[in-house]
Structure formats: C-alpha cells, structure tokens
Structure 1
Amino acid sequence: MNAHHLQPAPVLLREDADGIAQLTLNRPQSRNPLSEAMLAALSQAFAAIAEDGSVRAVVLAAAGPVFSAGHDLKEMSAHRADADRGRVYFADILGRCSAMMQQITALPQPVIAAVEGTATAAGCQLVASCDLAVAGSGARFCTPGVHIGLFCSTPMVALSRNLSAKHAMEMLLLGEMVPAPEAARMGLVNRVVPAGEALAEARRLAATIAAKSAVTVKTGKRTFYEQREMGLKAAYDHASAVMVENMMARDAEEGIGAFMEKRQPVWER
C-alpha cells in the first residue's frame, strides 16, 4: 500500500458549480464533530469564499447519518489533564468556534444549511447561524448540554436570535430532540422536505439566490444583521441610508428599468 492510501480524507469537502459553493462536513464516522480540524477547515473555507466573487451562495451539508454532533467532547476532555484543567484550551476552542459562527453572519454570500439526521449542541448552533436552513423530514435538532451539566450557552446566542424567547428556552432547558416539522414551526429551519432531499432543495434555493444581483444580495444580508442589533429608530435610519446608496447603484437602476420595461434585468456581475 502506498503512502497515498494512508492520507485521511479531508474533514471538509468543497465543490463549486454554477455560482454555488457546497461545503460538506466529512467525518461521518465520528458524527461530524466541530473538532479543532473541522473548525479550522470551516474558517479557512469561509475566509476564501468571502473573497471569491464567483460564489453567489453557499450550501452547507454533511456526509453520513448525522449532520453534526457539536463540539468534540473527547478532544476537549483530554485537556482535563492540563495543569489548568483545560481552562486555557476551553477558552481557545470556544473562541475559535464563536469566531467561525460569526464568519457565517459576516459572509457576503447567503449560507444555506441542508440538514439530514441530527444536529446537536454546537451542530444545532451551526444550523441556527446559517441564513437559511432546509431539513429532511427525519432531521432532529437538540441543545442537550443541560443533561451533562454543560449548558449550551454559546449555541444559545444563535438560537435566541432565530427563535422566540420561549422556544429557545424550551430547547435549552429541556434538552429534548426537536423533530424537523417542529423546528420549522419554531423558526429554526425554513422548510422541511422528504428525507434525503434537503441538499437538492438547499441547492434550488441557492440557485434562485445566485441569479440575483450579487451586490444587492450582499448589501441586503449585511444590513439585515446590522439593523437587527439596533433600536427601532437607529435601524430605520441605517436601512434608509443603505437604501439611498442602493438606489444609486447601477444594478438598482437596471433592475427598476427592466421591471418598468417588462424585460429581464442584466446584472453587473
């Protein structure tokens, strides 16, 4: 056997086609944990995509029967043997995870999760951090930290920005599995499709977005997250200022002209 066969498969796969970058978590045998290697790979991929004008939308999928089980508890527990019982390591890994989640929000392109199987703890956080999410009918979601004495406080940040307060607290306090239709009702996912079809539906949504003006989508996504952190008046002031700039953009002039002339717009890029 040559050395080539001993190379482990990449933890994250990237495949680009038609303006869509598909990222696939590729550690099915260990339930696609957000290990050091996976966090690094995701972070690098998002950094590259942010600079890549050819990518209009991102689909985040996973190999195997589990979307992601969250943090790698084996990897973390090994650091209990450190002199500080792991304090510095835990702070570092949680900081890296939080930074990666924020990269998704900051990414110019929309990110769509395609979820089959279970997404638990930081894996559920990953889904909540995406702009859109599609679930197969068998998908389930859970923030189970409360069962093991480790409250899902970082997943809570993403959950509480997607769900109503009562729904988020229900998931966090009970730690129970939430089936896909219930997750859709709660607002954690956009839609539920037959099992095995989440990726196809996510790619369909991505293709629809990819056909829009890239600069318009980028402006809209950024402004959505900016205004959400503001008070009402500040949010309106900010959104109005953005809209004035948007109105002056070439694609807005083209799009409005095309609408009035009843023709298809031709976007700048």
Structure 2
Amino acid sequence: MADAAAVQETIEAPVTVSEAGGILQLTLASAPANALSIAMMEALKGALERARDDDAVRVIVLRSEGKVFCAGHDLKELTAHRADADRGREFFEETMRLCAGLMQTIVRHPKPVIAEVSGVATAAGCQLVASCDLAVAGEAARFATPGVNIGLFCSTPMVALSRNVSRKHAMEMLLTGEMIDAQTALSFGLVNRVVPQETLNQTAMNFAQTIASKSPLTLKIGKEAFYAQDEMALSQAYDYTVRVMVENMMARDAEEGIGAFIEKRAPEWKGK
C-alpha cells in the first residue's frame, strides 16, 4: 500500500501483511507458485484469525506477489510424504482438512474478504478466489481446476466453485481441467470485475474503502446472514432473515444510520 501510514511486517515467511485505513492486505509471498503449503495455509489462517478480533480492521484484501496468484497445493510437499509408512495418508488428510478449515475461515469471517487476482489461480488457488466474498482480476488472470489432468479430481475446490458459478460452468472447469481467461471467469460469475493490471490494486482498494466506510456491525450481520440463508429453503430463509432484520433494527448503528439519512448528515458508526 502506498499510504505512508501503513505498517508492514512479515507475519510468517509465506505471507506479508500491511494495514491502513481499516483495510488489511494479506499478500501471498512465496513466489513463483504461492502454493498452499502447510506453512502458507497456517500463516493465512493465523492472520485471518488475528484480524477477527482487531477492531482496526474493517475489510481484508487477499493478494499475491509474482505472476501466479496461487497454484494450489504444494505437490512436491505432498509427494514427499509418499515415503511415509502410510504412503502419505495422514499428511494428505492434514493438508486437506487444513485447507478446508482455511476456506471456511474466510467464508465465516465477520469481515469481508476481497481477492485481488494477479496472474494464475489454479486448483486450491481457484478455490481460494471462490471462497472470498468479492474478487477483482487483472486482464491477464487465468483460472482452472486442473486436477483431472493429473488423476486427482478437484473435489474440495469444487465446493467453493459450485457455490459461485452455475452447475454447467463448474462441471466444465472440473471435467476439462482447462484454463479460462479473466473475461470468461467474469461471465461465469467467479469474479466481480476485470481491470487492467495497472489499476488492479486500486480497484480492489476502492471496493475495500467503500465497504470499510459502512457500519462494521452491519457488515458482520449481513455477511453471516448471506451465507446462512443461502443454504436454506425459501420459507426458512425468510423466517431467518426476518429475525435478523429485527435484531439489526435494534442495533445502535441502525438507529444512527436511519437517523443520519433522515437528517441528511453523515452517520457516526459505533459498531454496536
């Protein structure tokens, strides 16, 4: 981030963090592949969990260094454990469960998470993009779930992918393993915007700044309700969201926001 007020540090080797103006940027910094090794996933999950209770953080932007956003799991790390007594079964389960936990941490995080996709996002890297609440891609970005090409169907990436795009588009990606370009990803609904590379970070930051200006309590309520109702039947979803709306109306921020709208002034959010 160009803002001189930003404080930047290395959390753990694979991930760097900078925060300013309520926006936390987490950067995958293990080029060239930015693979989801155990170390990378633990670093990301740890950073996200710390941000959960940090009142200074309103929005999270997930980005990367290099030409690859994220190439998915570290296949060399996985293959090395073929020499284990159980042929790697325990390590494979640890890896997949950690990855599933990371993706759920993003979805269940009380703060919005935006993917800023520069370059290639494949397999679990594509899953990472699909798990975020919003995604902005550079024009050269490409996406794939290519496990089928190496005898390993992208079953866990399928969970996030199928919750973002239509069944036929998801199956097209999963069954062919072929790369799709950024404009195709936009048409599929995998990303929100496709922009020139030179404006990618600014576009993601514009999204983040707009969202960060809202009541943090309202964002938390809304994000949780969105994912909860999405898995309910219609009548159940309405019953649930009626309760959510009533509780939201009782919040001080809703009282302040409605009052500010009526009085034609800027609201002052308290997060209560």
Q: Normalising to structure 2: TM-score of the pair?
A: 0.94
What is the alpha-carbon distance in structure 2 between the residues aligned to residue 68 and residue 136 of structure 1? Answer: 14
The equivalent of 1:158 in structure 2 is: 160
The equivalent of 1:147 in structure 2 is: 149
Task: Please state how far the C-alpha of 1:10 moved relative to its aligned partner.
Answer: 2.0
What is the alpha-carbon distance in structure 2 between the residues aligned to residue 81 and residue 109 of structure 1? Answer: 41
Matched, 1:28 2:31: yes
Letter matched to residue 28 of structure 2: L
The equivalent of 1:68 in structure 2 is: 70
The equivalent of 2:89 in structure 1 is: 87
1:1-269 correspondence runs (5 A) = 10-29=13-32, 31-269=33-271
Letter matched to residue 268 of structure 2: V
SS at match of 1:151: coil
Q: Normalising to structure 1: TM-score of the pair?
A: 0.95
What is the alpha-carbon distance in structure 1 between the residues aligned to residue 130 and residue 199 of structure 2? Answer: 19
Letter matched to residue 120 of structure 1: T
Letter matched to residue 17 of structure 1: A
What is the alpha-carbon distance in structure 2 between the residues aligned to residue 111 and residue 216 of structure 1? Answer: 15
Q: Are the counterparts in 2 of residues 115 and 199 from structure 1 also a CA contact under 8 Å?
A: no
Q: How much is the aligned-residue C-alpha RMSD, in angstroms?
A: 1.1
What is the alpha-carbon distance in structure 2 between the residues aligned to residue 196 and residue 82 of structure 1? Answer: 46
1:190-211 CA distances to partner (integer Å, 9 max, x unpaired)? 0000123222211110010000
What is the alpha-carbon distance in structure 1 between the residues aligned to residue 94 and residue 180 of structure 2? Answer: 30
SS at match of 2:69: strand
Letter matched to residue 251 of structure 2: A
What is the alpha-carbon distance in structure 2 between the residues aligned to residue 28 and residue 227 of structure 1? Answer: 38
Aligned residues: 261
Task: Please state how far the C-alpha of 1:257 moved relative to its aligned partner.
Answer: 1.3
Q: Are the counterparts in 2 of residues 116 and 196 from structure 1 also a CA contact under 8 Å?
A: no
SS at match of 1:134: strand
What is the alpha-carbon distance in structure 2 between the residues aligned to residue 36 and residue 197 of structure 1? Answer: 32
Letter matched to residue 12 of structure 1: V
Q: Are the counterparts in 2 of residues 128 and 188 from structure 1 also a CA contact under 8 Å?
A: yes
Q: Are the counterparts in 2 of residues 69 and 122 from structure 1 also a CA contact under 8 Å?
A: yes
What is the alpha-carbon distance in structure 2 between the residues aligned to residue 113 and residue 106 of structure 1? Answer: 15
Letter matched to residue 227 of structure 1: Q
1:164-204 CA distances to partner (integer Å, 9 max, x unpaired)? 11111111011111100110110000000012322221111
What is the alpha-carbon distance in structure 2 between the residues aligned to residue 90 and residue 12 of structure 1? Answer: 22
SS at match of 1:52: coil
Once the two structures are aligned, what percentage of the paired residues are identical?
Answer: 60
Unmatched tracts of structure 2, length 5 or more: 1-9
Letter matched to residue 153 of structure 1: S
What is the alpha-carbon distance in structure 2 between the residues aligned to residue 242 and residue 231 of structure 1? Answer: 16
Q: Are the counterparts in 2 of residues 247 and 253 from structure 1 also a CA contact under 8 Å?
A: yes
